[in-house]
Structure 1
Amino acid sequence: MERPEHIPPPCLEPLKVLHHDAHLVIVDKPSMLFSVPGRGPLKQDCALHRLAENFEDIKLVHRLDLDTSGVMVFARGIEAQRRLSRGF
């Protein structure tokens, strides 16, 4: 018998932008918000998608677990992503 998939409740807290410039965006990710989209339509709300609404060419540098809150760094463009990813 398959176990039903656990779907976390939606995160209603905003994603706070702490800093942004031409190369990166730094945010305070609340707990219960995915860093990147999960599988299935109910797991699409995530930090990456929320930032993409306001910043062009946003790229993931690292992840935080779903239930972890904290500072995340996103790159603006592939070259910035390559450079920033080296630190993680």
Structure 2
Amino acid sequence: MAASPVQPSSSASNYDFARKQIRRPDDHVDMEQLLRRLTRLEARIHDALLPTRTEDVRRIVEKTGLPHESFSEDVAEALGMQRPPRS
């Protein structure tokens, strides 16, 4: 029996989960945890770019709603993400 495709959950619930993971008991953001998670995300994106077409990875990133500003310049450049125009 083939596995059914995973249905994407709403991005709001994904962000709520992430917020809970990086909050300290005093309700402040644990910046060390946030930066560690961001670094791991960027490393996984770099790993995914090796065997995958850049366009496919960029579409996945855009589908999740992560903006250019969420990434370091080298990762955004590797994904071919355009810096939004300044207003």
Task: Identify the structure with the greater helix proportion.
Answer: 2
Q: If you compute each CA radius of gyration, which structure gives the higher value, 1 or 2? A: 2
Task: Identify the structure with the greater strand proportion.
Answer: 1
TM-score normalised by length of structure 1: 0.28
